Structure 1
């Protein structure tokens, strides 16, 4: 993949509230996701390419991602710099209830690179919509992560299983799933 001025990086929900692993299910995969996202962010900044920080502003009472809670803050590792675009959302997709698509289209963006949290929620939903809108979309497997879930039968499903299943559903239909090293090359 060749990144250029028509390629935007979407950093989705890289917020302190996701550090509370117990709140989100007790287990998590891909412990280096945020570090890998920060490496991509730094490369993007060096190349002066377009990027958007997506911030989940939950409306669910008690959520660490509610505005006013410390968990709503961006992680220090990937915190926006002055002048970088921030899109606030309160649903799983960065496109619903925001002007993200309008901003991307005004900038002539044709390709999207997606990193952040969580693989099976906001990453998946935003990736599906990006693909449906016709963007050439790249999802960076080692720069996204998720948490354990409880299945309908009450059994625990590992974060890695959830992650792998979500990526398998997205790959080659809504996006191309690649590794960060392949992107940064």
Structure 2
């Protein structure tokens, strides 16, 4: 999965859960890739080694212990986001990674340069199993941004100290 499926579909699960921090949930939905992609490039020398430590059950268990210890909604939201990420990546199809180190070292990925890796990612969009979740995630993100637009405008209004209407009038006066 790519960005829209991970973030959009994970945020969609928050509609069915009580109290979640949407920002922490969005962060958690991408956290395994945020950690593993650069780490794979630095440690293993290839961007295609992007499913390593943060894509394991050990990482999820560690986050779960943090949830129990701190009982903080942000940590719970991040952990749920990571869980959704692992599900959307179908990590049960890669047990050597998911159950690392029980089944041995991480499997070797093909050595690709960055452009070849991006080409490989984007070529996956021709498959319905990748394209449909991406479209669904994007659709939910658009729906969510539309449905909370007044909250977003209120936050802007609160932080700027002026009414949003006054700012808009200032930009569009004479139009």
If each structure's strand is expressed as a fraction of its own residues, which one has the higher value?
1
TM-score, normalised via structure 1 length = 0.29
Q: Which has the higher helix share?
A: 2
Scaled by the length of structure 2, the TM-score of the pair is 0.30
